[in-house]
Amino acid sequence: MPATIVHKNEKPFQRIDVETVTLDIIENAMANARNEMDAVLFRTAMSPGIREQGDAFPMIANHEGKMVVGQFGSFITGFIQSYAGTIEEGDIFLTNDPYMCDGAVSHLPDWLVMVPIFKGGRLINWAAMFGHMSDVGGKVPGSLPTDAKTIFEEGIRIPPLKIYKNGELNSDVLDLILHNVRVPRWNKADFNAIVAACRTAGKRCVELAERFGDDTYISALQMMLERNYVAMREIIRMVVPESKQSFEDYICDDGAGLGPYTIRCTMWREGDKAIFDFAGTDPQAPSSVNFYLNEEMFKMFFGAFTINLFDPSILFNDGFYDLVDVRIPQGSILKPNFPAALSCRTHLLGRIFDVMGGLLGQGTPDAMSAAGFSDSPHFMYSGYDENDEWFQLFQIGFGGIPGRPVGDGVDGHSLWPGFTNVPNEFIEAYFPLRIETYESIPDSGGAGKHRGGNGIRVGYRLLAKGEISIHDDRWLTYPWGVNGGDPGQRSRKILKKTNGEEIILPSKCDNIKVEKGDLVIFDTWGGGGWGDPLERDLGAMSADIKRGLISVDGARRFGVVADANGVIDEAATEQLRASMKDSRTEALPLFNRGGTIAEIKARALAETGLEAPATPVWER
């Protein structure tokens, strides 16, 4: 039974024509309101993950629940259809359970706040935002246990509930929730910051409706959705073929000794509708790497990907959703059965973008990027400091962005474009550690006409006894290159003990005991290269060598002979490039994965120091 929306004014909205200038003013005002949500959040949140890195995602929807501005697409319509209670002015809803909101959030650390916005007794908008809490309880600090078998091990589950009712905070429920987390002060501050951000959006929406009139305002929001529909329809006709084309990629392992796991998607177009079918994707994993992929969320991924690729001026919203059909097999690693664990779903979430790039790029290879949006590496460190006070760090790392048609990949950047790094000074001021190394890893980006971005090396000197957790991927499979470009370098993690022992850590591990003085070397992957490396501009090569992004030996991957100052021997370079071209026995591949899975596994130990995972049981 769908929710009952309680209106004190039942007068229906009237659709009217809105002048172009008025529509543009409202559209820009809505975009500014969405940005103001971020500004309020980042100035009032407390945890480093939200305050410093921006791990939160806002949106504003119309009265029907369709997102008109935002990042992650709307889940409000699904909430309205599944919530059995009333929705009244002054109510604010909270949930974090993926299984109870159809994957609107995909693991328990993401707290989702939804606020209905009323004016004159009528619902005119929704504001919503979810943010990643540094801890929600569960079996490990940070609430991302690699070895969890069920969601019950991962932290407190909050069903969709009214955390505010008629404007009054349900403090007993909030106290109960905070009682189950390790850093309640952070959670409470972050929750209040999210609520404040949503209320700010509500004020802006009411102000716009008052300025232009309810009917003009509501009609303008509908026209914004229709604009997006028309624009995306043209993009879909352009990039999605009627014939089926498929692509697959892999996450390296599940942290429990099995892998790689296949993500497979087939795409085609029927009329104006793009269809994405994930048949052939592997069954769910026994550990927490499963990703409950909401179909609406994938539509958002697709829309954001194509809009940014073809026309970033298009305002991203839900208007095009009827043009996309997403099919995900139940019981697969992308739609696991309850109560499968979900906390470490980030690896698959990141890999979806690589899959989309490979899928869409086959028809337009010149517009395709290589792989590199591959993961969102996590480093967690917790324990008691010298004052016997609990500390808990959750930090998101940065990898190499892939080579692109327009140029090189960015060195050391987040999967999410809006994320920023936590300043080293902040970390050193608030946590018992010292950042001894923070640098680009030379030659880690794949060679190409446009090289992949280099990965990042961070050296954490730990100044207190405690435990660390590491969550990463691309340690086994390579970020693939395209159009003749080479794959990027794998990721790697090393623990250097004070006694001189060096331990190569798995990419997914928890409860690693550390002592004061230990050093963690955290290397992330490099992005794949784009285009023939022998066509790379010599001026760009010289600049990269001078900046330490490419070594003298690494330059030879591009057929370039140079000295440490970046001075290129043009005659020797011409001779080397000619020799390398003559030695080619076949055309450059569209995709370069660094070999087959069997070949990659066979050389894993020599290159990474880690044993390749066993093949999942259904493939044996």
3-state secondary structure 218-272: HHHHHHHHHHHHHHHHHHHHHHCCCCCEEEEEEECCCCCCECCEEEEEEEEEECC
Report if residue 209 sits inside a domain: yes
Q: Are residues 573 and 598 in the same domain?
A: no
Whether residue 593 sits in one domain with residue 579: no
Same domain, 435 and 540: no
Pair 460, 557 in one domain: no
Alpha-helix residue ranges (DSSP H) falling in 484-596? 538-546, 552-555, 570-582
pLDDT digit string, tens, across residues 479-495: 999 999 999 999 999 99
Do 538 and 599 share a structural domain?
no
Q: Cα dihedral sign for 557, 563, 565, 570? A: negative
Q: What is the pLDDT of residue 166?
A: 93
Least Cα distance to 202 among 93, 91, 117 occurs for: 117
Structure tokens at 314: 């298009």
- According to the model, what pLDDT value does residue 620 have? 39
Express each pLDDT in 10-35 by its tens digit. 889 999 999 999 999 999 999 999 99
Strand, coil or helix: 465: coil
Q: Let me know if residue 264 belongs to a domain.
A: no
Q: How far apart are CA 158 and CA 155, in angstroms?
A: 10
* Residue 307 within a domain: no
Same domain, 194 and 216: yes
Distance, CA of 218 to CA of 274 (rounded, Å): 28
CA distance 589 to 532: 10
Residue 508, H or E segment:
strand 508-514
Say whether both 421 and 542 belong to one domain.
Answer: no
Low-confidence ranges of the chain (pLDDT < 70): 1, 73, 309, 415-417, 617-620
Strand-pair partners of 164: 92, 169
- For residue 138, the SS3 value is coil
Range of the domain at 573: 534-586
Give the pair of three-digit tokens for residue 589: 């591949």
Q: Could you tell me which of 157, 150, 151, 142 has the C-alpha nearest to residue 97?
A: 157
Is residue 208 one of the residues assigned to a domain? Answer: yes
Do residues 577 and 598 share a domain? no
Statement to judge: residues 52 and 75 lie in one domain: yes
Is the CB of residue 253 less than 8 Å from the CB of residue 507? Answer: yes
Largest CA distance in the chain: 81
**406 and 546, same domain (yes or no):** no
**Domains contained in the chain, number:** 3
67/59 Cα distance (integer angstroms)? 7
My answer on whether 521 and 561 are in the same domain is no
Contact 561, 573 (CB under 8 A): yes
Task: Let me know if residue 413 belongs to a domain.
Answer: yes
Q: Which of 215, 232, 249 is the last residue of a domain?
A: 232
With respect to residue 244, please indicate whether it lies within any of the assigned structural domains.
Answer: no
Taking the CA of residue 488 as centre, how many other CA atoms within 13 Å lie in the half-sphere pointing to its CB?
Answer: 43
448 and 370 in contact (C-beta within 8 Å)?
Answer: yes
Q: How many CB atoms lie within 10 A of CB 501?
A: 9
Q: Is residue 237 part of a domain?
A: no
User: Domain boundary residue among 213, 232, 251?
Assistant: 232
**Domain termination site, one of 175, 208, 232:** 232
Helix/strand/coil (H/E/C) assignment for every residue in 377-407? CEEEEEEECCCCCEEEEEEECCECCCCECCE
Task: Give the per-residue pLDDT at 402.
Answer: 93
Same domain, 32 and 165: yes
The reply to whether 450 falls in a domain is yes
